[in-house]
């Protein structure tokens, strides 16, 4: 006689959820050792091209790069839409935490349901804290990235139930990297914007919008939130070419704008973190480690820090960096920058290692 064990729908959901969690959160060996009682189940990402993994691939926009030579060193030379030769910072972060080899784009048509459990990126090339910034390049604004995040939460609820979803949101690492486009493309790129704002008022607007975004994430259940500052935008190759004069020096006024925004963002995040209970809301300084690589490339094994690897290295980015008109440097690890705006995977690995060393103990 055969006996059958009948389970309620809630029991089935519990065991299915447990199976998914065990199956898909132990696939990569962690390089970073967390305290025994600490769990980071996922890395969830918002922002701009620095951490976009292909969300713009099906859009009519200048801010896309789903074609060679982008991705030349990524997973066998696949151009996924990452704005680099290989992995981007949040891919490396997920790898270091032992979650998975890379963080996929939420809008990737080949996204697997199980990828939701360990994190996705909603980031979009061209995005900024000021809504008009995103309109310039035609990316996905932060407001829409949040709407996609709402969809993500609903999908998680359907997969693993409400309680496990709350656990994932509470314990995951949320990464927000944005602001470069606001400064380079909006404020300094459009004279009409400088008629409406001073650099002080514009960076204040950016920082206030960033604070509101962080508060929104908290409202959805996020508790570990890393808010990245702006890089030394005046020292990236394209900006040196456009505004650095005959000798292509770092553009001081651009860097000053980044530092002003960073000071305002840091202050906003510090105040906000004191008002949000049970939160670990942290400002992350990306300006200093990247500037160190640019000013002292030899100390890190680089040979070139004022040009991109793609083409002449002066101005090529997105469509100008292509297999038809742009040769690629043979040794990408010699360069801090891949194209004229985005660093190489080698540079990102050094920066991520520095940031983990400085901030990991505060976020866990």
Could you say which of 49, 84, 172, 238 is catalytic?
49
Average pLDDT for residues 158-180, to the nearest whole number?
A: 98
- Read off the pLDDT band of 33 (50, 70, 90): confident
Q: Are 344 and 336 in contact (CB under 8 A)?
A: yes
Number of Cβ within 10 Å of residue 150's Cβ equals 10
Number of Cβ within 10 Å of residue 274's Cβ equals 10
Instruction: List, for residues 59-84, the tens digit of each pLDDT value.
Output: 999 999 999 999 999 998 999 999 99
- Read off the pLDDT band of 4 (50, 70, 90): very low
Residue carrying structure tokens 């440097």: 329
Which residues are 46's β-sheet partners? 176
Whether 17 is catalytic: no
Q: Reply yes or no on whether the pLDDT at 22 is more than 90.
A: no
Identify the pLDDT of residue 31: 79
Q: Provide, rounded to the nearest whole percent, the portion of the chain with pLDDT above 90.
A: 89
Identify the pLDDT of residue 32: 84
Q: Does domain 30-363 have CATH number 3.40.50.1110?
A: yes
Distance CA 92, CA 350 (A): 10
Could you say which of 115, 326, 339, 340 is catalytic?
339
Rounded mean pLDDT of the chain? 93
Whether 49 is catalytic: yes
Instruction: List, for residues 201-231, the tens digit of each pLDDT value.
Output: 999 999 999 999 999 999 999 999 999 999 9
CB environment 331-346: b (16+ within 10 A), e (fewer)? ebbbbbbbbbbbbbbb
Identify the pLDDT of residue 313: 98
Domain ranges of the chain: 30-363
Distance CA 207, CA 227 (A): 11
Q: Degrees (nearest 5) of the Cα angle 153, 25, 280?
A: 60
Our measurement of the distance from residue 360's CA atom to the centroid of its chain's CA atoms, rounded to an integer in Å, reads 17
Residue carrying structure tokens 């969830």: 44
**What DSSP character marks residue 129?**
S
Q: Reply yes or no on whether the pLDDT at 20 is more than 60.
A: no
Distance CA 65, CA 71 (A): 9
Instruction: List, for residues 223-280, the tens digit of each pLDDT value.
Output: 999 999 999 999 999 999 999 999 999 999 999 999 999 999 999 999 999 999 999 9
Distance CA 81, CA 16 (A): 33
Q: Are 153 and 165 in contact (CB under 8 A)?
A: yes
- Read off the pLDDT band of 29 (50, 70, 90): low
Could you say which of 73, 91, 238, 342 is catalytic?
342
Distance CA 119, CA 114 (A): 9
Instruction: List, for residues 293-349, the tens digit of each pLDDT value.
Output: 999 999 999 999 999 999 999 999 999 999 999 999 999 999 999 999 999 999 999
Strands (E), 28-116: 43-47
Residues in the chain: 364
Residue carrying structure tokens 């996929």: 104
Identify the pLDDT of residue 30: 66
Whether 52 is catalytic: no
Q: Are 55 and 81 in contact (CB under 8 A)?
A: yes
Q: What six digits make up the tokens of 200?
A: 């002080």
Q: Reply yes or no on whether the pLDDT at 25 is more than 80.
A: no
Identify the pLDDT of residue 28: 56
Burial class, 145, CB count within 10 angstroms (exposed 0-12 / middle 13-18 / buried 19+): buried
- Read off the pLDDT band of 109 (50, 70, 90): very high
**Whether the bond into 145 is cis, omega within 30 of 0:** no
pTM for the model stands at 0.92
Q: Reply yes or no on whether the pLDDT at 27 is more than 70.
A: no
Sign for the pseudo-dihedral over CA of 231, 143, 223, 32? negative
């Amino acid at each position: 006689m055969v006996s059958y064990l009948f389970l309620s729908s809630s029991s089935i959901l519990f065991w299915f959820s447990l199976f998914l969690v065990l199956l898909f959160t132990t696939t990569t060996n962690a390089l970073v050792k967390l305290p025994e009682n600490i769990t980071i189940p996922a890395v969830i990402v918002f922002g701009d091209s620095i951490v976009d993994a292909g969300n713009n691939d099906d859009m009519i926009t200048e801010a896309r790069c789903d074609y060679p030579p982008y991705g030349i060193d990524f997973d066998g030379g696949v151009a996924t839409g990452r704005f680099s030769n290989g992995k981007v910072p949040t891919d490396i972060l997920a790898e270091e935490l032992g979650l998975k080899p890379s963080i996929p784009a939420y809008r990737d048509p080949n996204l697997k349901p199980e990828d939701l459990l360990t994190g996705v990126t909603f980031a979009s090339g061209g995005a900024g804290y000021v809504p008009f910034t995103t309109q310039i390049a035609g990316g996905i604004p932060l407001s829409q990235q949040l709407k996609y995040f709402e969809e993500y939460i609903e999908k998680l609820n359907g997969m693993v139930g409400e309680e496990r979803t709350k656990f994932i949101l509470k314990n995951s690492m949320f990464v927000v990297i944005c602001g470069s486009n606001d400064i380079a493309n909006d404020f300094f790129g459009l004279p009409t914007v400088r008629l409406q704002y001073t650099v002080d008022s514009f960076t204040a607007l950016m920082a206030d919008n960033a604070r509101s975004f962080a508060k929104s994430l908290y409202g959805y259940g996020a508790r570990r939130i890393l808010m990245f500052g702006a890089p030394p935008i005046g020292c990236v190759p394209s900006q040196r070419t456009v505004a650095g004069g005959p000798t292509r020096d770092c553009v001081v006024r651009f860097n000053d704008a980044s530092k002003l925004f960073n000071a305002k963002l840091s202050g906003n995040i510090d105040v906000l973190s004191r008002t949000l209970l049970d939160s670990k809301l942290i400002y992350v300084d990306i300006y200093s480690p990247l500037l160190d690589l640019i000013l002292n490339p030899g100390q890190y094994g680089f040979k070139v820090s004022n040009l991109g690897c793609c083409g002449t290295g002066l101005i090529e980015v997105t469509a100008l960096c292509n297999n038809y008109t742009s040769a690629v440097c043979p040794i990408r690890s010699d360069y801090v920058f891949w194209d004229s705006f985005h660093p190489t995977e080698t540079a990102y690995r050094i920066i991520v290692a520095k940031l983990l060393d400085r901030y990991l103990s505060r976020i866990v």
